[in-house]
């Protein structure tokens, strides 16, 4: 079997530039808040084409489809659980159209986001149900022409694994990132080193794994260094937010400038990240600055945590549960059962 496009590109390039924000870009095109962005695949396909094309023209080698919330559990909140097949298929086929017209190889990555449900025993979601939900989405993205499935913004490893199983069942290679937004951990308490170790134990591991979203570019880079503590040889993905959202006169904007994102991209490359992109707040101008910096600035030594803080700003927490944990807060237990 011929190797998939992403694997071929990763084998021949030192780094690949992924895309930026989906939501922020669509809101700038007039998507109203609360409206599921996936509906625009059908209602405003030209806007979705523009979203994809803008990323490609800014230099992205890979872009994500507009299908982040396109699973039945999320769409159900808009009474659209019956439209999973249609919305995801079109998300991918519009992407295929733009990628094929790019004049260079561009990967269409079928975005799969969380269900929003919590797994048992704390919540009600089961592994079997999650796999079923994700498989419906995965197969539609494949039918629309996605090259690879892109599982993102996960908080629980159970959910990451369920989406991965669905990707494998759908017969597509996959990549997967989690969001480390709570004191350097995921919301469910997973550290970067633990995630990297769990990924290596998977029966069908990803082509690449990493982090997206979370809290700003500096936190994301600290997470990357955490992955690397495990000496993983698997390609790493970094898709950080363009700074932190700020509120001005009734509008929200992210405070990360194109210059900051260019610094972040170069740091990510120097840290050994293979797939570099942005998340919330990352616009085509940011991507252009990132591409330009990656192409023109010489490769430097691997950055330390201190280098990252100096270039990208302070971290959201003193530590992230990896490496030297001696300074971390702990709870002295009196009497623990079992």
What's the DSSP call for residue 119? Answer: B
Q: Angle at which helices 127-143 and 84-100 pack, to 10 degrees?
A: 40
Q: Angle at which helices 84-100 and 45-57 pack, to 10 degrees?
A: 40
Cβ at position 192, least distance to another protein in Å: 14
DSSP assignment of 263-291, as one string?
HHHHHHHHTT-SEEEE-TT--HHHHHHHH
Cβ at position 113, least distance to another protein in Å: 12
Cβ at position 79, least distance to another protein in Å: 12
Tell me if 28 sits within 8 A of 73, measured CB to CB.
Answer: no
Nearer to another protein, 102 or 244 (CB): 244
Cβ at position 223, least distance to another protein in Å: 14
Nearer to another protein, 57 or 81 (CB): 81
Nearer to another protein, 253 or 299 (CB): 253
Which residues are near another protein by CB under 8 A?
23-24, 27, 32-35, 74, 77-78, 116, 118, 121-123, 155, 181-185, 187-189, 244-247, 250-252, 280, 317, 321, 328-331, 333-338
Cβ at position 72, least distance to another protein in Å: 14
Give CA separation, 229 vs 196, 210, 268, 271, 316, in Å. 9, 13, 15, 12, 20
Nearer to another protein, 104 or 251 (CB): 251
Nearer to another protein, 79 or 231 (CB): 79
Give CA separation, 136 vs 9, 23, 28, 61, 159, in Å. 28, 23, 30, 27, 15
Nearer to another protein, 82 or 189 (CB): 189
Cβ at position 27, least distance to another protein in Å: 5
């Amino acid at each position: 079997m011929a190797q998939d496009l992403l694997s071929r590109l990763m084998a021949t390039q030192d780094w690949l530039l992924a895309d930026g924000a989906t939501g922020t870009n669509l809101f700038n095109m007039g998507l109203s808040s609360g409206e599921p962005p996936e509906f625009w695949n059908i209602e405003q396909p030209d806007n979705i084409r523009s979203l994809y094309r803008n990323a490609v023209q800014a230099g992205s080698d890979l872009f994500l489809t507009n299908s982040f919330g396109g699973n039945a559990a999320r769409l159900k909140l808009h009474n659209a659980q019956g439209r999973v097949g249609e919305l995801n298929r079109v998300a991918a086929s519009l992407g295929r159209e733009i990628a094929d017209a790019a004049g260079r190889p561009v990967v269409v990555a079928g975005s799969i986001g969380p269900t929003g449900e919590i797994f048992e025993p704390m919540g009600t979601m089961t592994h079997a149900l999650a796999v079923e939900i994700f498989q419906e989405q995965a197969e539609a993205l494949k039918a629309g022409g996605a090259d690879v499935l892109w599982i993102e913004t996960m908080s629980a490893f159970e959910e990451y694994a369920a989406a991965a199983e669905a990707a494998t069942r759908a017969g597509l290679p996959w990549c997967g990132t989690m969001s480390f937004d709570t004191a350097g951990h995921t919301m469910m308490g997973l550290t970067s080193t633990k995630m990297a170790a769990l990924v290596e134990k998977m029966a069908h591991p990803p082509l690449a794994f990493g982090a997206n979203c979370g809290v700003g570019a500096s936190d994301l880079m600290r997470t990357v260094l955490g992955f690397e503590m495990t000496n993983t040889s698997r390609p790493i993905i970094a898709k950080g937010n363009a700074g932190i959202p700020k509120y001005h006169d009734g509008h929200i904007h992210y405070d990360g400038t194109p210059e900051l994102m260019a610094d972040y991209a170069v740091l990510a490359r120097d840290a050994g990240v293979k797939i570099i992109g942005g998340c919330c707040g990352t616009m085509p101008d940011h991507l252009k600055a990132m591409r330009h910096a990656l192409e023109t600035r010489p490769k430097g030594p691997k950055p330390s945590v201190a280098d990252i803080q100096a270039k990208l700003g302070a971290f959201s927490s003193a530590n992230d549960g990896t490496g030297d944990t001696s300074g971390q807060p702990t709870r002295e237990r009196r009497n623990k059962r079992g």
